[in-house]
Structure 1
Amino acid sequence: MGSSEREAEDVRAFWERLGTPGLVDVHTHFMPDRVLRKVWAYFDAVGPLTGVEWPITYREEDRRVALLRDFGVLRFTSMLYPHKPGMAQWLNAWAARFAERVAGCLRTATLFPEEGVQRYVREAVESGARVFKAHVQVGAYDPNDPLLDGAWGLLAEAGVPIVIHCGSGPAPGRHTGPEPVARLLARHPRLRLVVAHMGMPEYADFLGLAERYGEVRLDTTMAFTDFSERLAPFPAGERGRLLELGDRILLGSDFPNIPYGYLHQLEALERLGLGEEWLRAVCHGNGARLFADPALS
């Protein structure tokens, strides 16, 4: 048995022990090949620049979807994001085609502060987008840019979740951190924001926003793993808040752009010691409910 087969067995054994039918992963990356290769080139350069190596574990293009299926991931996303104007609509078209041909992928879309953003966001929602991705750090934009206001209002009204990378990890940007998101939520309190990476490293502040706004959620992407605990450890004193917000924390992995195996994210959640009911909700139930997917029940 090869290493991928052994890992798949171990991942399946994890969710079988919990008694779920599989996993719902809200933070996986599938992108046009040339875009993904640029992302990988960035991570390849991180080590020499920062002293923190980031070897991509799952580079085999023809195996990435098959691996998720072998792991028992029932629903996943194609998180993709622009870094300049003129990219988002093209990325949305690619993601729509990808979701049409790849069973289990929730149709994903993105946005950028530019002329026409409200129009193409509306088109994406009306044609079936299930989740959006906003990357404040890579896009280097303020989520409160007036150009985005109509799009946020539309997404709030439609109830479409937005996975938003807004924490200051792995490196702070001009508009990262909890304060811009707090201002955004003050204007659009019904936005279904899913704070990526648990808001790393400003964990406590983003937990506070979830406590204040009932539609705010957080995903576990890379949080609690050995890799992230070395760089931005989650405060042990905040674990009780994870339990209290157990219905609004969602499994995210960052697959395939992770410097360790998929199983480790699951093991990192388990070793928090918050119990099997919490794990079942995070790894399956919360995602199934958020996307109102009867096939996952």
Structure 2
Amino acid sequence: MNDHRPAPDRPRTAGDASWEAEAAEVRRFWEGLGLPGLVDVHTHFMPERVLDKVWAYFDAQGDLTGGLEWPITYRRQEAERADVLRRFGVRAFTSMLYPHKPGMARWLNGWAADFAHRTPECLHTATLYPEPGVEAYVREAVEAGARVFKAHVQVGAYDPADELLRPAWGVLAEARIPVVIHCGSGPAPGKHTGPEPIARVLARHPGLRLIVAHMGMPEHEDFLSLAERYPEVRLDTTMAFTDFTEAFMPFPRGALPRLAGLGDRVLLGSDFPNIPYPYVHQLHALERLGLGAEWLRGVCHDNAAALFGV
């Protein structure tokens, strides 16, 4: 991938100066580590009317946000958001999208395939839901070139061990395609969140490449245990360790040696654009853990670059 591709020409906006200054700070971060850029496995791009509803939910401090005040820092049009990531030096990112009811997933997958086609830096993303036909459309997405899937147990309010999903997990395990899955009980618990349902999925499909979003917060140590038990389980850093999250779901400092030991299976995630602070804060939050430059290089680029071949 071209990590220095020029951004497309577009009208300047009032906020450009602030985020271009941040872009310089982000680039200093990864350049200081000797990296060619960043790989972010947890960024959101989805159809505009869907994203508008997501933003409205955050604005209303809905139940699934834990009732927290959650301003959207990068509330911009799609092309501008992709441009911001390019200027930050993010060499590869995802279009995390997810259904909350039956009948949405196949349509979302079609949109995501088109977005990946017109956005070279995007890892072709797809999703799924426990419904009749899920195995067929998951297989279709795989055959169409999907490189990563997104599953959202909290928003979808489904059991990831649902029998309807069993053949779909089998397809993904066989294809060795990673699945970024929001399955922890933060920022608010769901009916099927937590480590136990995921443990049942992994018992059936031990080779499934699950990437546990948000470090599995707040059940951090339980999900660390699953990663230690299953070598294909990974965790992403999305919102973990930041001031915002540490205020209500802190990572247990006694578990830092375990996190260091899993350094090759921890991947940078940000939740861009739906974050209530600047992107660079996620990077500084990782740095201040004090786990060293080699760990940071793996997390911020090398681990995901190896996993996805970018």
- For residue 284 of structure 1, what is the aligned residue in structure 2? 301
- Residue equivalent to 1:224: 241
Q: Cα deviations across residues 189-242 of structure 1 (Å, max 9, x unaligned)?
A: 000000000000000000000000000000000000000000100001000011
Q: Deviations over 1:122-171 (max 9, x none)?
A: 00001100000000000000011111100000100000000000000011
Q: Residue in 2 aligned with 1:82?
A: 99
Q: Which runs of 5 or more structure 2 residues have no equivalent in the other structure?
A: 1-15
Question: Would you say the 8 A contact 2:66–2:188 is kept in 1?
Answer: no
Residue 208 in structure 1 maps to residue 234 in structure 2: no
Is 2:294 the partner of 1:274? no
Q: Give structure 1 regions of 4+ aligned residues with deviation exceeding 6 angstroms.
A: none
Q: 2:38 aligns with which of 13, 18, 23?
A: 23
Question: For 1:137, which of 147, 150, 154 is the aligned residue?
Answer: 154
Given candidates 26, 47, 53, the residue that maps to 1:32 is 47
In structure 2, give the amino acid aligned to 1:145: D
CA positional deviation for 1:50: 5.5
Which residue does the alignment assign to 2:170?
153
Q: TM-score, normalised by structure 2?
A: 0.93
- Any gaps of 5 or more consecutive residues in structure 1? none
Q: Work out the CA distance in 2 between the residues paired with 1:141 and 1:259.
A: 27
The answer to whether the 8 Å contact 1:178/1:205 transfers is yes
Q: 1:3 aligns with which of 11, 18, 40?
A: 18
The one-letter amino acid of 2:73's match is T
Alignment match of 1:187 (pick from 204, 214, 220): 204
Pairing 1:23-102 to 2, within 5 Å after superposition? 23-46=38-61, 52-61=68-77, 62-102=79-119
User: Which residue identity does 1:137 align to in structure 2?
Assistant: Q
Alpha-carbon RMSD across the aligned residues, in angstroms, is 1.2
- Once the two structures are superposed, the pairs formed by residues 105-116 of structure 1 within 5 Å of their partners are 105-116=122-133
Indicate the percent of aligned positions where both proteins have the same amino acid.
74
Q: Is the 8 A contact 1:225 1:265 kept in 2?
A: yes
* Distance in 2 of aligned mates of 1:77 and 1:149: 24
2-side partners of 1:105 and 1:177: how far apart?
29
Give the aligned residue type for 1:252. G
Letter paired with 2:48: D
Distance between the aligned counterparts of 1:33 and 1:196, measured in 2? 23
